[in-house]
Amino acid sequence: MTRTINRVEPPAEGSGSRVPHFRVAVIGTGFSGLGMAIRLKQQGIDDFVVLERADEVGGTWRDNSYPGCACDVMSLLYSFSFARNPNWTTTFGKRDEVFAYLKECAEKFGVRPHIRFRHELVGARWDDTERRWHIETSGGDVTAQVLVTGTGYLSDPVMPDIEGLESFPGAKFHSATWDHDFDLKGKRVAVIGTGASAIQFVPKIQPEVGQLFVHQRTAPWVGPKADKTTNKLQFALRKNVPGYQRFRRNFNMWGREILAFMLARPNIAAKTITGMAEKNLKKQVKDPVLRAKLTPNYAAGCKRLLFSNTWYPALQQPNVELVTDAIVRVDGSSVVTADGTSREVDAIILGTGFSATDRPVARRIWGRDGVQLADAWSTGMSAYAGTTVTGFPNLFMLLGPNTTLGHSSQTVMIEAQIAHVVDALKVMDKRELASVEVRSEAQQAYNTALDAKLEGTVWTAGGCVSWYQDGSGRNPSIWPTYTWRFRKATKKVDLGAYRIATTVGLPVKSQ
């Protein structure tokens, strides 16, 4: 059977404009992309390029600069194991520190010369004859044998579909694109959303604004945040005691696996995690009416568990109103809710999250036979080991489907996937392979087993509905068990799950 290849033809010989070719092309410079680039350098692989749409590294930590932006995982764990930083000033890293850390890593490990800034991915097309990716970017084209996406799932903001929002005459911006030029002092502000970003910026802007309307669709579970300033003793231990920082990091990582055990057992989670959050809510909110509005109707863990010591106090200030009636439209300068109330505001801040299950990058990648990744995922996003997708040879996705964690640090998953990609490159070198492509039956079997693990957990029990789920109700986001299991499963590439090609231009075969 003759295949129809959706190809991008390379320039003719002698044209003077040959497209640069690389062994590996990496998309993005957040934790995933930078981590991949650093590991390639450490493995002695210099034939790679990193394509970044912005003019600096950092990914979501570059883009999100809203007031109060910080991490909710201990900094010693929310960092690379191979780039430990003794200088975190608090338990949980603030945005500027995390951003500075990523920039420092880019410099320290010498990957900046490999980065092409202002090169936004326009399209990547697999050529099955040449066994390479033809990659078009806003700054020029390249080709690569292997394509690694490090675009994550918190990189493209979601704009809510609200009638009249587009014509709102005041200031309007998403938390991920914060307008620092707009002076909030004394203004009437509507915040739409009460997720991870909102619980951080609302307490910061509350003392500044004149009136704050917080529009809540679903109440989040919020636990206390044990954030402390790093003292001199801790700094000394981290800098002067060999192995201390590694011990603290690993202790936190393994300790968090207990949460995975609880989240997989809703009855236990209800007594422990939900109980902790309920106690925190009762302690901080004395008004029974407000407390009822802030009490979720689902088990803790179903949606992302949040942590803050300032969220509940901010909502109880005189200039704040928690609005639980649904927004029906924006009428001129007013936000109108289902109960008929019209609230006039000067600014609307959207804390409405990101495209987590509808990855924008999927609309920019075409695999074998010219199939778009978004079309391949039209019935649901899935991958093998969260990293490879059938029909897309030599494509490796960092933080791909079912790699999101509800209990630990994403850096643990990122590093496991990076190790998987590095091993795949070694195998390809050793076997002199032109391409590897996961078999459809291997991918299906992997996801069938994954769905079975999700059954009976807090992410599926009791009719749980969250941003982790897609339109069909399937959860293509969460890794539902221990991180050590993922690390073990991805440590080595099982070629038995792949179709391989040893020579450019010859048919692909099953291993």
**Over the stretch 194-220, which tens digit does the pLDDT of each residue have?**
999 999 999 999 999 999 999 999 999
Please compute the mean of the pLDDT values over residues 365-376 and round it to a whole number: 97
pLDDT-based confidence at residue 169 (cuts at 50, 70, 90):
very high
Q: Which CATH class is domain 21-156+355-510?
A: alpha beta
The per-residue DSSP string of 64-102 comes to: ---TT-B-SS-TTTSS-TTS--TT-SBSS-BHHHHHHHH
Span 170-201, pLDDT tens digits: 999 999 999 999 999 999 999 999 999 999 99
DSSP structural state of residue 301: T
- Token pair 């920082």 is at which residue? 245
Please give the Cα distance from 501 to 480 (Å, whole number): 33
Q: How far apart are CA 89 and CA 98, in angstroms?
A: 11
Average pLDDT over residues 437-463: 93
Residue 116: exposure state from Cβ atoms within 10 A (0-12, 13-18, ≥19) = middle
Kindly state the DSSP code that residue 496 receives in the 8-state scheme. Answer: G
460 CB-side CA count, 13 A: 19
CA distance 357 to 207: 35
CA distance 127 to 4: 10
Residue type, 356: A
> Which of 367, 372, 373 shows the shortest CA–CA distance to 392?
367
Query: Backbone phi, then psi, for 331, in 5-degree steps?
Result: -115, 100
The pLDDT score that the predictor gives to residue 357 is 78
Label residue 15 by pLDDT band (50, 70, 90): very low
Residue 358 confidence (pLDDT): 84
The predicted pLDDT at position 505 comes to 56
- The pLDDT tens digits for 4-14 are 223 333 333 33
Please check whether residue 422 is in contact with residue 495, taking contact to mean a CB–CB distance below 8 angstroms: no
The predicted pLDDT at position 155 comes to: 76
Going by C-alpha positions, the residue among 239, 228, 232, 234 that lies closest to residue 85 is 239
Angstrom distance (rounded) from CA 402 to CA 405: 8
DSSP codes joined into one string, 51-63? E-SSSSS-THHHH
Asked whether the domain spanning 171-228+236-350 has the same topology as the one spanning 21-156+355-510, the reply is yes
- What's the pLDDT score for residue 5? 28
* The pLDDT value given to residue 6: 32
Mean pLDDT rounded to a whole number for the chain = 93
DSSP state, 410? H
Q: How confident is the model at residue 74 (pLDDT cuts 50, 70, 90)?
A: very high
CATH topology of domain 171-228+236-350: FAD/NAD(P)-binding domain (3.50.50)
Percentage of the chain beyond pLDDT 90 is 87
- Residue 302: pLDDT over 70: yes
Residues 238-262 have a mean pLDDT of: 95
Would you say the C-alpha torsion 19, 3, 147, 116 has a positive or negative sign?
A: positive
* Domain spans in the chain, listed from the N-terminal domain onward: 21-156+355-510, 171-228+236-350
